[in-house]
Structure 1
Amino acid sequence: MRIEPDPERLVFVGGLHRSGTTPFAKVLDGHPDVSGLAATGVREDEGQHLQPVYPKAKVHGGSGRFAHRPEAHLTEASPLASAASAQAMLDSWVPFWDTSRRLLVEKSPPNIIMGRFLQAQFPGSGLIVVVRHPVAVALSNKKWRRLASTNPRKFQSLNQMVEHWLAAHRILAADARHLERLLVVHYERLIQSPAEELQRVQSFLGLEEPIDSSKLSSSHGDPYAERWASYRSWWRPGGWQRRIIGSRHAEEIAAFGYDWADLSGFTRPAGPLGLTESV
Protein backbone atom coordinates (compact mmCIF):
# COMPACT_ATOMS: atom_id res chain seq x y z
CA MET A 1 0.00 0.00 0.00
CA ARG A 2 1.42 3.39 -1.00
CA ILE A 3 0.85 5.96 1.74
CA GLU A 4 2.97 9.06 1.41
CA PRO A 5 3.82 11.07 3.41
CA ASP A 6 4.10 9.23 6.73
CA PRO A 7 0.72 9.51 8.52
CA GLU A 8 2.50 10.50 11.74
CA ARG A 9 3.42 13.79 10.05
CA LEU A 10 -0.25 14.71 9.65
CA VAL A 11 -2.01 17.13 11.99
CA PHE A 12 -5.73 17.75 11.64
CA VAL A 13 -7.33 20.93 12.97
CA GLY A 14 -11.06 21.07 13.68
CA GLY A 15 -13.60 23.20 15.47
CA LEU A 16 -16.99 24.67 14.67
CA HIS A 17 -17.23 27.46 12.12
CA ARG A 18 -16.28 30.84 13.65
CA SER A 19 -14.36 29.19 16.50
CA GLY A 20 -10.97 30.51 15.45
CA THR A 21 -9.67 27.55 13.47
CA THR A 22 -8.57 29.69 10.52
CA PRO A 23 -6.33 32.13 12.45
CA PHE A 24 -5.01 29.23 14.53
CA ALA A 25 -4.12 27.23 11.41
CA LYS A 26 -2.39 30.28 9.91
CA VAL A 27 -0.31 30.69 13.06
CA LEU A 28 0.75 27.04 12.80
CA ASP A 29 1.56 27.47 9.12
CA GLY A 30 3.94 30.30 10.07
CA HIS A 31 6.22 27.85 11.86
CA PRO A 32 9.24 26.77 9.78
CA ASP A 33 8.56 23.08 10.47
CA VAL A 34 4.84 23.19 9.61
CA SER A 35 2.99 23.43 6.31
CA GLY A 36 -0.71 24.05 5.91
CA LEU A 37 -2.64 23.65 2.68
CA ALA A 38 -2.02 26.76 0.56
CA ALA A 39 -3.16 28.25 -2.75
CA THR A 40 -5.83 25.59 -3.11
CA GLY A 41 -8.49 27.82 -4.67
CA VAL A 42 -11.11 26.51 -2.23
CA ARG A 43 -12.74 28.30 0.70
CA GLU A 44 -10.33 28.93 3.58
CA ASP A 45 -7.94 26.34 2.06
CA GLU A 46 -9.96 23.64 3.82
CA GLY A 47 -9.06 20.08 2.94
CA GLN A 48 -12.69 18.98 3.07
CA HIS A 49 -13.29 20.82 -0.21
CA LEU A 50 -10.44 19.04 -1.99
CA GLN A 51 -10.86 15.39 -0.99
CA PRO A 52 -13.25 13.00 -2.82
CA VAL A 53 -14.04 10.57 0.01
CA TYR A 54 -16.47 12.04 2.55
CA PRO A 55 -19.30 14.61 2.08
CA LYS A 56 -18.48 18.21 2.90
CA ALA A 57 -20.16 19.90 5.87
CA LYS A 58 -22.56 21.76 3.58
CA VAL A 59 -24.05 18.44 2.44
CA HIS A 60 -25.12 17.94 6.06
CA GLY A 61 -26.58 21.44 6.36
CA GLY A 62 -23.40 23.45 6.84
CA SER A 63 -22.43 25.53 9.84
CA GLY A 64 -24.89 25.32 12.70
CA ARG A 65 -26.40 22.07 11.44
CA PHE A 66 -23.93 19.36 10.42
CA ALA A 67 -23.33 17.88 13.90
CA HIS A 68 -27.04 17.03 14.18
CA ARG A 69 -26.68 14.59 11.28
CA PRO A 70 -25.58 11.12 12.48
CA GLU A 71 -23.99 10.38 9.10
CA ALA A 72 -21.62 13.34 9.56
CA HIS A 73 -20.07 11.67 12.62
CA LEU A 74 -17.48 9.43 11.00
CA THR A 75 -15.59 6.81 13.02
CA GLU A 76 -13.35 3.82 12.37
CA ALA A 77 -16.53 1.84 11.67
CA SER A 78 -17.50 4.01 8.69
CA PRO A 79 -17.72 2.16 5.36
CA LEU A 80 -15.71 5.06 3.96
CA ALA A 81 -12.67 4.00 5.99
CA SER A 82 -10.23 2.09 3.80
CA ALA A 83 -6.67 2.19 2.52
CA ALA A 84 -7.92 3.36 -0.86
CA SER A 85 -9.84 6.22 0.74
CA ALA A 86 -6.82 7.25 2.78
CA GLN A 87 -4.71 7.32 -0.37
CA ALA A 88 -7.31 9.36 -2.25
CA MET A 89 -7.44 11.91 0.55
CA LEU A 90 -3.67 12.23 0.66
CA ASP A 91 -3.42 12.52 -3.10
CA SER A 92 -5.84 15.46 -3.03
CA TRP A 93 -3.85 17.32 -0.35
CA VAL A 94 -0.19 16.63 -1.13
CA PRO A 95 0.04 19.06 -4.08
CA PHE A 96 -0.86 21.95 -1.74
CA TRP A 97 1.57 21.16 1.08
CA ASP A 98 5.25 21.98 1.30
CA THR A 99 6.26 18.39 1.96
CA SER A 100 9.81 19.40 2.83
CA ARG A 101 8.45 20.53 6.20
CA ARG A 102 8.15 18.02 9.02
CA LEU A 103 4.45 18.46 9.88
CA LEU A 104 1.54 18.79 7.45
CA VAL A 105 -1.71 20.44 8.60
CA GLU A 106 -5.21 19.96 7.22
CA LYS A 107 -7.90 22.24 8.67
CA SER A 108 -11.65 21.72 8.27
CA PRO A 109 -14.46 22.42 10.79
CA PRO A 110 -16.03 18.92 10.53
CA ASN A 111 -12.82 17.38 11.88
CA ILE A 112 -14.29 18.11 15.32
CA ILE A 113 -16.55 15.06 14.93
CA MET A 114 -14.33 13.04 12.59
CA GLY A 115 -11.33 12.36 14.82
CA ARG A 116 -11.88 8.62 15.07
CA PHE A 117 -12.23 8.30 11.29
CA LEU A 118 -9.09 10.36 10.63
CA GLN A 119 -7.14 8.35 13.20
CA ALA A 120 -8.20 5.10 11.52
CA GLN A 121 -7.25 6.44 8.11
CA PHE A 122 -3.94 7.88 9.26
CA PRO A 123 -2.62 6.04 12.36
CA GLY A 124 -0.33 8.22 14.45
CA SER A 125 -1.76 11.49 13.16
CA GLY A 126 -2.74 14.23 15.60
CA LEU A 127 -5.97 16.17 16.08
CA ILE A 128 -6.16 19.68 17.50
CA VAL A 129 -9.64 21.04 18.19
CA VAL A 130 -10.25 24.73 18.80
CA VAL A 131 -13.14 25.31 21.21
CA ARG A 132 -14.79 28.71 21.72
CA HIS A 133 -17.64 29.91 23.95
CA PRO A 134 -20.91 28.63 22.43
CA VAL A 135 -22.62 32.02 22.55
CA ALA A 136 -19.66 33.75 20.88
CA VAL A 137 -19.77 31.12 18.14
CA ALA A 138 -23.52 31.66 17.72
CA LEU A 139 -23.22 35.45 17.56
CA SER A 140 -20.33 35.27 15.11
CA ASN A 141 -22.23 32.88 12.85
CA LYS A 142 -25.26 35.18 12.89
CA LYS A 143 -23.11 38.11 11.77
CA TRP A 144 -21.31 36.03 9.15
CA ARG A 145 -24.55 34.67 7.71
CA ARG A 146 -26.10 38.12 7.41
CA LEU A 147 -23.12 39.17 5.34
CA ALA A 148 -22.88 35.97 3.31
CA SER A 149 -26.47 35.06 2.52
CA THR A 150 -30.05 36.30 2.55
CA ASN A 151 -31.54 32.83 2.05
CA PRO A 152 -34.33 32.51 4.68
CA ARG A 153 -33.92 28.72 4.70
CA LYS A 154 -30.52 29.22 6.34
CA PHE A 155 -31.99 31.16 9.25
CA GLN A 156 -31.21 29.84 12.71
CA SER A 157 -31.83 31.43 16.07
CA LEU A 158 -29.05 31.95 18.58
CA ASN A 159 -30.55 29.17 20.68
CA GLN A 160 -30.49 26.74 17.73
CA MET A 161 -26.83 27.54 17.12
CA VAL A 162 -26.00 26.98 20.78
CA GLU A 163 -27.83 23.64 20.62
CA HIS A 164 -25.69 22.69 17.62
CA TRP A 165 -22.53 23.68 19.54
CA LEU A 166 -23.59 21.40 22.40
CA ALA A 167 -24.33 18.53 20.03
CA ALA A 168 -20.91 18.78 18.37
CA HIS A 169 -19.02 19.00 21.64
CA ARG A 170 -20.93 16.09 23.18
CA ILE A 171 -19.70 13.99 20.27
CA LEU A 172 -16.15 15.26 20.74
CA ALA A 173 -16.24 14.51 24.48
CA ALA A 174 -17.48 10.97 23.82
CA ASP A 175 -14.91 10.37 21.07
CA ALA A 176 -11.99 11.73 23.11
CA ARG A 177 -11.41 8.46 24.97
CA HIS A 178 -10.87 6.71 21.62
CA LEU A 179 -8.30 9.20 20.35
CA GLU A 180 -4.61 8.60 20.93
CA ARG A 181 -3.42 12.11 20.02
CA LEU A 182 -5.91 14.86 20.82
CA LEU A 183 -5.25 18.40 22.00
CA VAL A 184 -8.07 20.79 22.89
CA VAL A 185 -7.19 24.47 22.55
CA HIS A 186 -9.58 27.02 24.00
CA TYR A 187 -9.90 30.14 21.86
CA GLU A 188 -10.22 32.37 24.91
CA ARG A 189 -6.91 31.16 26.31
CA LEU A 190 -5.35 31.38 22.87
CA ILE A 191 -6.04 35.10 22.56
CA GLN A 192 -5.62 36.04 26.22
CA SER A 193 -2.42 34.07 26.90
CA PRO A 194 -1.17 33.19 23.42
CA ALA A 195 2.43 32.37 24.31
CA GLU A 196 1.37 30.02 27.09
CA GLU A 197 -1.30 28.26 25.02
CA LEU A 198 0.95 27.93 21.98
CA GLN A 199 3.61 26.40 24.19
CA ARG A 200 1.13 23.59 24.87
CA VAL A 201 0.69 23.20 21.12
CA GLN A 202 4.46 23.25 20.59
CA SER A 203 4.89 20.48 23.15
CA PHE A 204 2.05 18.41 21.69
CA LEU A 205 3.57 18.62 18.20
CA GLY A 206 7.15 18.09 19.36
CA LEU A 207 8.40 21.31 17.79
CA GLU A 208 11.82 22.58 18.84
CA GLU A 209 11.21 26.24 18.00
CA PRO A 210 8.37 28.26 19.61
CA ILE A 211 5.25 29.10 17.61
CA ASP A 212 5.01 32.84 16.91
CA SER A 213 2.12 34.30 18.92
CA SER A 214 2.40 37.91 17.69
CA LYS A 215 -0.56 37.70 15.31
CA LEU A 216 -3.07 36.74 18.01
CA SER A 217 -4.99 39.52 19.75
CA SER A 218 -7.30 39.59 22.78
CA SER A 219 -9.47 42.23 21.10
CA HIS A 220 -11.07 39.72 18.72
CA GLY A 221 -13.83 38.61 21.09
CA ASP A 222 -14.78 42.00 22.56
CA PRO A 223 -17.69 42.94 20.24
CA TYR A 224 -19.55 39.72 21.00
CA ALA A 225 -19.15 40.09 24.75
CA GLU A 226 -20.54 43.61 24.57
CA ARG A 227 -23.44 42.55 22.36
CA TRP A 228 -24.34 39.63 24.61
CA ALA A 229 -24.32 41.91 27.65
CA SER A 230 -26.70 44.29 25.86
CA TYR A 231 -29.26 41.46 25.61
CA ARG A 232 -29.83 41.39 29.38
CA SER A 233 -33.05 43.35 28.88
CA TRP A 234 -35.62 40.99 27.40
CA TRP A 235 -37.17 43.70 25.21
CA ARG A 236 -33.87 44.33 23.41
CA PRO A 237 -33.19 42.46 20.14
CA GLY A 238 -31.77 39.13 21.22
CA GLY A 239 -33.03 39.48 24.78
CA TRP A 240 -35.56 36.67 24.51
CA GLN A 241 -32.97 34.36 23.00
CA ARG A 242 -30.64 35.13 25.90
CA ARG A 243 -33.34 34.10 28.38
CA ILE A 244 -34.00 30.84 26.49
CA ILE A 245 -30.30 29.93 26.34
CA GLY A 246 -29.83 30.66 30.03
CA SER A 247 -32.88 28.71 31.14
CA ARG A 248 -32.31 25.68 28.91
CA HIS A 249 -28.55 25.28 28.59
CA ALA A 250 -26.72 27.00 31.46
CA GLU A 251 -25.89 23.74 33.25
CA GLU A 252 -24.55 21.90 30.20
CA ILE A 253 -22.57 24.94 29.04
CA ALA A 254 -20.99 25.03 32.51
CA ALA A 255 -20.08 21.36 32.15
CA PHE A 256 -17.89 22.38 29.23
CA GLY A 257 -16.21 25.08 31.30
CA TYR A 258 -18.10 28.18 30.21
CA ASP A 259 -20.42 30.62 31.95
CA TRP A 260 -23.41 31.10 29.66
CA ALA A 261 -23.80 34.74 30.77
CA ASP A 262 -20.14 35.77 30.52
CA LEU A 263 -18.18 35.58 27.28
CA SER A 264 -14.95 36.91 28.79
CA GLY A 265 -13.14 33.61 29.20
CA PHE A 266 -12.92 29.91 29.85
CA THR A 267 -13.40 28.70 33.42
CA ARG A 268 -12.93 25.35 35.12
CA PRO A 269 -15.42 22.75 33.86
CA ALA A 270 -18.23 21.86 36.22
CA GLY A 271 -18.67 18.31 34.99
CA PRO A 272 -17.22 15.38 33.03
CA LEU A 273 -17.76 17.09 29.67
CA GLY A 274 -14.97 19.60 30.28
CA LEU A 275 -12.49 19.45 27.38
CA THR A 276 -9.28 20.69 28.92
CA GLU A 277 -6.53 18.14 28.48
CA SER A 278 -4.58 16.46 25.74
CA VAL A 279 -5.11 12.74 25.31
Structure 2
Amino acid sequence: MIQNHRYVFVGGLHRSGTSLVARLIAGLPGVGAISDAPVPENEGVYLQGAIPHTAMHGAPMHFATDPAQHHTEGTRYDTLETRLRIEADWEPHFGPGHWRVEKSPVNLSRMRLYQQLFPLSQFVVVIRHPEAVSAATAKWVDLAPDEMLNHWLDAHEIVARDLRYLHSALVLRYEDLVSDPVRAVSCLAAFLQVAAMPTVPEVYEGNQRYVGQARLSRGQTRRAHSWGYGPGMQIYPTELKVSHALRSVREQVGACFSAALQRPPME
Protein backbone atom coordinates (compact mmCIF):
# COMPACT_ATOMS: atom_id res chain seq x y z
CA MET A 1 0.00 0.00 0.00
CA ILE A 2 1.44 3.38 -1.01
CA GLN A 3 1.35 5.89 1.82
CA ASN A 4 0.64 9.55 1.03
CA HIS A 5 1.95 10.87 4.34
CA ARG A 6 5.32 11.54 5.93
CA TYR A 7 6.33 11.51 9.57
CA VAL A 8 8.01 14.19 11.62
CA PHE A 9 9.23 12.61 14.83
CA VAL A 10 9.75 14.79 17.89
CA GLY A 11 12.00 13.51 20.67
CA GLY A 12 13.92 14.70 23.69
CA LEU A 13 14.53 14.01 27.34
CA HIS A 14 11.52 14.28 29.62
CA ARG A 15 10.66 17.87 30.58
CA SER A 16 12.56 19.29 27.62
CA GLY A 17 9.51 20.77 25.88
CA THR A 18 8.67 17.99 23.43
CA SER A 19 4.91 18.24 24.07
CA LEU A 20 4.96 21.99 23.44
CA VAL A 21 6.92 21.60 20.19
CA ALA A 22 4.66 18.80 18.97
CA ARG A 23 1.56 20.94 19.59
CA LEU A 24 3.07 23.82 17.64
CA ILE A 25 3.96 21.54 14.73
CA ALA A 26 0.45 20.07 14.81
CA GLY A 27 -0.89 23.61 14.34
CA LEU A 28 0.92 24.04 11.03
CA PRO A 29 -1.06 23.62 7.80
CA GLY A 30 -1.14 20.08 6.46
CA VAL A 31 -0.01 18.41 9.69
CA GLY A 32 -2.02 15.66 11.38
CA ALA A 33 -1.48 14.59 14.97
CA ILE A 34 -2.58 11.95 17.45
CA SER A 35 -5.39 13.31 19.58
CA ASP A 36 -7.74 12.01 22.27
CA ALA A 37 -5.82 8.73 22.48
CA PRO A 38 -6.17 6.70 25.71
CA VAL A 39 -2.46 7.05 26.49
CA PRO A 40 -0.26 9.63 28.29
CA GLU A 41 0.38 12.82 26.29
CA ASN A 42 -0.97 11.19 23.09
CA GLU A 43 2.42 9.52 22.68
CA GLY A 44 2.58 7.07 19.81
CA VAL A 45 5.02 4.81 21.61
CA TYR A 46 2.11 3.55 23.74
CA LEU A 47 -0.11 2.91 20.73
CA GLN A 48 2.14 0.51 18.85
CA GLY A 49 3.04 -3.07 19.64
CA ALA A 50 5.99 -3.58 17.31
CA ILE A 51 8.64 -2.41 19.79
CA PRO A 52 8.03 -3.33 23.45
CA HIS A 53 7.33 -0.41 25.78
CA THR A 54 6.82 -1.16 29.46
CA ALA A 55 7.57 0.60 32.73
CA MET A 56 11.17 -0.48 32.23
CA HIS A 57 11.35 1.29 28.87
CA GLY A 58 11.44 5.04 28.45
CA ALA A 59 12.09 5.75 32.12
CA PRO A 60 13.15 9.36 32.81
CA MET A 61 16.90 9.81 33.32
CA HIS A 62 17.49 6.27 32.07
CA PHE A 63 16.29 5.40 28.58
CA ALA A 64 18.54 7.73 26.58
CA THR A 65 21.77 6.08 27.77
CA ASP A 66 20.47 2.50 27.90
CA PRO A 67 22.18 0.56 25.06
CA ALA A 68 19.19 -1.78 24.86
CA GLN A 69 16.95 1.16 23.92
CA HIS A 70 19.26 2.69 21.34
CA HIS A 71 17.60 1.42 18.16
CA THR A 72 19.53 1.93 14.94
CA GLU A 73 19.66 0.65 11.40
CA GLY A 74 20.42 -3.06 11.07
CA THR A 75 19.19 -3.98 14.56
CA ARG A 76 16.43 -6.43 15.45
CA TYR A 77 13.52 -4.07 14.75
CA ASP A 78 14.79 -2.94 11.36
CA THR A 79 12.26 -5.05 9.47
CA LEU A 80 9.32 -4.61 7.15
CA GLU A 81 7.14 -6.34 9.75
CA THR A 82 7.99 -3.64 12.31
CA ARG A 83 7.09 -0.86 9.90
CA LEU A 84 3.79 -2.44 8.89
CA ARG A 85 2.79 -3.10 12.50
CA ILE A 86 3.58 0.47 13.58
CA GLU A 87 1.66 1.93 10.63
CA ALA A 88 -1.35 -0.28 11.31
CA ASP A 89 -1.38 0.52 15.02
CA TRP A 90 -1.06 4.27 14.49
CA GLU A 91 -3.45 4.62 11.56
CA PRO A 92 -6.72 4.94 13.56
CA HIS A 93 -5.32 7.70 15.78
CA PHE A 94 -3.91 10.26 13.35
CA GLY A 95 -5.82 13.23 12.03
CA PRO A 96 -5.63 14.11 8.31
CA GLY A 97 -2.54 15.70 6.83
CA HIS A 98 0.37 15.12 4.49
CA TRP A 99 2.62 15.29 7.55
CA ARG A 100 2.05 13.26 10.70
CA VAL A 101 3.72 14.53 13.86
CA GLU A 102 4.48 11.87 16.46
CA LYS A 103 5.98 12.83 19.80
CA SER A 104 7.46 10.42 22.31
CA PRO A 105 10.57 11.16 24.40
CA VAL A 106 12.05 7.80 23.37
CA ASN A 107 12.15 8.97 19.76
CA LEU A 108 15.45 10.50 20.87
CA SER A 109 17.03 7.04 20.87
CA ARG A 110 15.11 5.65 17.87
CA MET A 111 15.83 8.20 15.16
CA ARG A 112 18.22 6.06 13.14
CA LEU A 113 15.80 3.11 13.20
CA TYR A 114 12.82 5.26 12.24
CA GLN A 115 14.78 6.72 9.34
CA GLN A 116 15.29 3.18 8.05
CA LEU A 117 11.64 2.24 8.54
CA PHE A 118 10.27 5.55 7.19
CA PRO A 119 12.93 6.91 4.79
CA LEU A 120 11.13 10.22 4.13
CA SER A 121 10.71 11.03 7.80
CA GLN A 122 12.22 14.10 9.47
CA PHE A 123 13.26 14.63 13.07
CA VAL A 124 13.02 17.47 15.57
CA VAL A 125 15.21 17.07 18.64
CA VAL A 126 14.13 19.31 21.52
CA ILE A 127 16.77 20.19 24.09
CA ARG A 128 16.60 22.29 27.24
CA HIS A 129 19.17 23.54 29.73
CA PRO A 130 20.46 20.52 31.67
CA GLU A 131 19.98 22.31 35.00
CA ALA A 132 16.31 22.92 34.23
CA VAL A 133 15.74 19.36 32.97
CA SER A 134 17.45 17.88 36.04
CA ALA A 135 15.42 20.01 38.46
CA ALA A 136 12.14 19.40 36.64
CA THR A 137 12.69 15.63 36.56
CA ALA A 138 13.78 15.32 40.20
CA LYS A 139 10.22 14.59 41.33
CA TRP A 140 10.27 11.34 39.34
CA VAL A 141 13.70 9.85 40.04
CA ASP A 142 15.94 9.12 43.02
CA LEU A 143 19.15 10.55 41.62
CA ALA A 144 21.43 13.29 42.88
CA PRO A 145 21.52 16.48 40.78
CA ASP A 146 25.07 15.71 39.66
CA GLU A 147 24.00 12.28 38.37
CA MET A 148 21.11 13.79 36.43
CA LEU A 149 23.35 16.43 34.88
CA ASN A 150 25.78 13.73 33.79
CA HIS A 151 22.91 11.75 32.31
CA TRP A 152 21.87 14.78 30.24
CA LEU A 153 25.41 15.21 28.98
CA ASP A 154 25.92 11.51 28.21
CA ALA A 155 22.57 11.32 26.42
CA HIS A 156 23.27 14.30 24.21
CA GLU A 157 26.69 13.02 23.25
CA ILE A 158 24.88 9.96 21.86
CA VAL A 159 22.42 12.27 20.10
CA ALA A 160 25.27 14.25 18.55
CA ARG A 161 26.70 11.06 17.08
CA ASP A 162 23.30 9.90 15.81
CA LEU A 163 22.63 13.23 14.09
CA ARG A 164 25.48 12.52 11.67
CA TYR A 165 23.46 9.63 10.23
CA LEU A 166 20.21 11.54 9.69
CA HIS A 167 19.24 13.10 6.37
CA SER A 168 16.72 15.58 7.83
CA ALA A 169 17.00 16.67 11.43
CA LEU A 170 16.64 19.90 13.39
CA VAL A 171 17.78 20.59 16.93
CA LEU A 172 15.52 23.14 18.61
CA ARG A 173 16.44 24.59 21.98
CA TYR A 174 13.57 25.21 24.37
CA GLU A 175 15.15 28.54 25.26
CA ASP A 176 15.18 29.72 21.63
CA LEU A 177 11.55 28.72 21.29
CA VAL A 178 10.29 30.58 24.34
CA SER A 179 12.40 33.67 23.65
CA ASP A 180 10.89 34.10 20.16
CA PRO A 181 8.02 31.67 19.46
CA VAL A 182 7.11 33.27 16.12
CA ARG A 183 10.61 32.85 14.78
CA ALA A 184 10.89 29.29 16.08
CA VAL A 185 7.57 28.21 14.54
CA SER A 186 8.57 29.84 11.25
CA CYS A 187 11.72 27.75 11.42
CA LEU A 188 9.71 24.56 11.95
CA ALA A 189 7.45 25.47 9.02
CA ALA A 190 10.48 26.04 6.80
CA PHE A 191 11.93 22.70 7.88
CA LEU A 192 8.75 20.90 6.81
CA GLN A 193 8.22 23.12 3.74
CA VAL A 194 4.74 24.15 4.81
CA ALA A 195 3.12 27.56 5.30
CA ALA A 196 3.75 29.35 8.57
CA MET A 197 1.10 29.38 11.30
CA PRO A 198 -1.15 32.49 11.03
CA THR A 199 -0.98 33.11 14.77
CA VAL A 200 1.34 31.51 17.31
CA PRO A 201 -0.07 30.60 20.74
CA GLU A 202 1.41 32.32 23.75
CA VAL A 203 4.40 30.46 25.18
CA TYR A 204 5.72 30.86 28.71
CA GLU A 205 9.35 30.63 29.84
CA GLY A 206 9.71 28.02 32.56
CA ASN A 207 13.42 27.84 33.36
CA GLN A 208 13.52 30.53 36.02
CA ARG A 209 11.49 28.47 38.49
CA TYR A 210 14.39 25.98 38.62
CA VAL A 211 17.29 28.39 39.13
CA GLY A 212 19.63 27.21 41.87
CA GLN A 213 18.28 23.66 42.13
CA ALA A 214 21.11 22.09 40.10
CA ARG A 215 24.36 23.57 38.82
CA LEU A 216 26.85 22.45 36.21
CA SER A 217 30.37 21.88 37.47
CA ARG A 218 33.35 23.24 35.55
CA GLY A 219 33.88 19.91 33.80
CA GLN A 220 30.19 19.55 33.00
CA THR A 221 30.14 23.11 31.66
CA ARG A 222 32.81 22.24 29.12
CA ARG A 223 30.70 19.32 27.90
CA ALA A 224 27.53 21.44 27.73
CA HIS A 225 29.17 24.31 25.87
CA SER A 226 28.60 22.93 22.36
CA TRP A 227 24.85 23.11 23.05
CA GLY A 228 25.12 26.71 24.29
CA TYR A 229 24.56 26.06 27.99
CA GLY A 230 26.49 27.31 31.01
CA PRO A 231 26.24 27.19 34.82
CA GLY A 232 23.53 29.13 36.62
CA MET A 233 21.04 28.57 33.77
CA GLN A 234 23.19 30.62 31.37
CA ILE A 235 22.25 30.45 27.68
CA TYR A 236 24.78 31.24 24.93
CA PRO A 237 24.27 31.76 21.20
CA THR A 238 25.28 28.59 19.42
CA GLU A 239 25.54 27.16 15.94
CA LEU A 240 22.22 25.90 14.59
CA LYS A 241 22.18 22.13 14.04
CA VAL A 242 20.10 21.28 10.97
CA SER A 243 20.39 18.80 8.13
CA HIS A 244 18.24 18.44 5.04
CA ALA A 245 18.75 17.12 1.53
CA LEU A 246 17.80 20.49 0.02
CA ARG A 247 20.20 23.38 0.48
CA SER A 248 17.32 25.84 0.10
CA VAL A 249 15.60 24.34 3.14
CA ARG A 250 18.80 24.45 5.19
CA GLU A 251 19.25 28.10 4.25
CA GLN A 252 15.65 29.01 5.09
CA VAL A 253 15.86 27.31 8.46
CA GLY A 254 19.20 28.96 9.13
CA ALA A 255 17.76 32.37 8.32
CA CYS A 256 15.20 31.89 11.10
CA PHE A 257 18.00 31.77 13.63
CA SER A 258 20.49 34.05 11.94
CA ALA A 259 21.02 35.96 15.19
CA ALA A 260 22.34 32.87 16.97
CA LEU A 261 25.13 31.45 14.83
CA GLN A 262 28.34 32.26 16.68
CA ARG A 263 29.47 30.46 19.80
CA PRO A 264 31.26 32.49 22.47
CA PRO A 265 34.82 31.46 23.42
CA MET A 266 35.30 29.08 26.33
CA GLU A 267 36.37 30.69 29.59
TM-score, normalising length from structure 1? 0.81
1:277 and 1:182 map into 2 onto residues whose CA distance is 6
Change (3 A) 1:155 1:204: same
Aligned partner (choices 68, 80, 83) of residue 83 of structure 1: 80
Residue 135 (str. 1) matches residue 100 (str. 2): no
Query: 1:16-27, aligned counterparts within 5 Å?
Result: 16-27=13-24
Alignment partner, residue 169 of structure 2: 182
Cα distance in 2 between the residues matched to 1:186 and 1:57: 28
SS at match of 2:71: coil
- How many residue pairs align between the two structures? 244
SS in 1 for 2:201: coil
Instruction: Calculate percent identity across the aligned residue pairs.
Output: 32
Q: Give the letter aligned to residue 63 of structure 2.
A: F
Shift in CA distance, 155/176, structure 1 to aligned 2, threshold 3 Å: same
* Structure 1 residues 173 and 253: alpha-carbon distance in aligned structure 2, compared to 1, 3 A threshold: same
The residue identity in structure 1 corresponding to 2:194 is: L
> Which of 177, 185, 194 is 1:207 aligned to?
194
Give CA-to-partner distance per residue, 1:256-278, whole Å, 9 cap, x none: 2211x132534326xxxxx6333
Q: Deviation string for 1:4-49 (max 9, x for gaps)? A: 344xx11110011000001111122223421111111101110111
Matched, 1:123 2:119: yes
* Displacement of 1:213: 2.4
Mapped pair 1:108 → 2:104: yes
Secondary structure of 2:125's aligned partner: strand
C-alpha contact (below 8 Å) 2:45/2:104 kept by paired residues: yes
Give the distance between the partners of 1:111 and 1:189, measured in 2 at CA: 21
Aligned pairs for 1:29-68 within 5 A: 29-56=26-53, 58-60=55-57, 62-68=59-65
Q: What is the SS of the residue equivalent to 1:93?
A: helix
Amino acid at match of 1:85: T
Distance (whole Å) between structure 1 residues aligned to residue 199 and residue 167 of structure 2: 26
Question: Hey, what's the Cα distance between the residues in 1 that align with 2:199 and 2:61?
Answer: 31
Regions of 4+ moved over 6 Å: none
Partner of 1:253: 224
Q: In structure 2, what is the Cα distance between the partners aligned to 1:23 and 1:61?
A: 19
Aligned equivalents of 1:13, 1:169: Cα separation in 2: 15
TM-score scaled by length of structure 2? 0.85
CA contact (8 A) 2:115 2:121 kept: yes
Q: In 2, Cα distance between the equivalents of 1:112 and 1:81?
A: 16
3-state secondary structure, aligned to 1:13:
strand
Distance 1:58 1:29 in 2: 27
Structure 1 residue 170 corresponds to structure 2 residue 157: yes
- Name the SS of the counterpart of 2:102 in structure 1: strand
Measure, in 1, the Cα distance between the counterparts of 2:243 and 2:236. Answer: 16
Query: 2:109, 2:13 → 1: CA distance?
Result: 10
What is the root-mean-square deviation of aligned Cα atoms in Å? Answer: 1.9
The answer to whether the 8 A contact 1:64-1:164 is kept is yes
Partner deviation per Cα, 1:152-190 (whole Å, 9 max, x = no partner): xx4111111111111221111001111001011110000
The separation in 2 between residues aligned to 1:60 and 1:266, in whole angstroms, is 33
The equivalent residue for 1:149 is: none
CA 1:109–1:61 in 2, change beyond 3 Å: closer, same or farther? closer
SS at match of 2:189: helix
Gaps of 5+ in 1: 146-153, 229-237, 270-274
Question: Following TM superposition, by how much is the alpha carbon of 1:212 offset from its aligned partner in structure 2, in angstroms?
Answer: 3.8
Distance 1:277 1:181, change over 3 A: closer
Partner of 1:224: 210
CA distance, structure 1, for counterparts of residue 49 and residue 125 of structure 2: 23
Aligned to 1:231: none
- 1:95 and 1:35 mapped to 2: Cα distance? 12
Structure 1 pair 192–42 and aligned structure 2 pair: CA distance change class (3 A) = same
